[in-house]
Amino acid sequence: MVSVVQNVAIDCADAYELARFWSEVTGRPLDAEDRPGDPEVRVTPAEGGPALYFHQVPEPKTVKNRLHLCLRPETTREQEVERLLGIGATLVADRREADGAGWAVLADPEGNEFCVLRSASDRAA
């Protein structure tokens, strides 16, 4: 017997707004029943994948995440980093190397870190 990851829970100050950001990042819609001001909002998963579940909490984020998401873009890593910066992410650390290896560490609008890895086309080049 095994367990299946149902969702990845993310504590936040504004569940709806942060879920909207991640909906745009992933291209996945919000749950049809979720509305602005809801304390719990879900970004629906791709078939078979876990949902992103945003839960409003009173305390702010204060330290580095112990768990974070790593994204593998469909476009190039550089194109995806620029797109994400354009929708509200911030660059936390640039771990990209001159030879194309590495990743970029970004933060969502509430400061939760995540990584953008090389795409399949980046890796093939």
First to last CA, the chain: 40
- The C-alpha angle with vertex 86 and arms to 114 and 117, in degrees rounded to 5, equals 35
Q: Are residues 1 and 53 in the same domain?
A: yes
Domain final residue pick, 58, 86, 102:
58
Helix (H, G, I), strand (E, B) or coil at 42: strand
Q: What is the CATH number of the domain that holds 83?
A: 3.10.180.10
CB within 8 A of 78, min separation 6: which ones?
Answer: none
Please count the structural domains in the chain.
2
Task: Dump pLDDT digits (tens) for 21-31.
Answer: 999 999 999 99
pLDDT at 103 over 90: yes
Element holding 19 (H helix, E strand)? helix 15-26
- Which structural domain, as residue segments, surrounds residue 20? 1-58
Q: Do 50 and 71 reside in the same domain of the chain?
A: no
Q: Which pTM was predicted? A: 0.92
Q: Give the tens place of pLDDT for each residue, 32-74.
A: 999 999 999 999 998 889 999 999 999 988 888 889 999 999 9
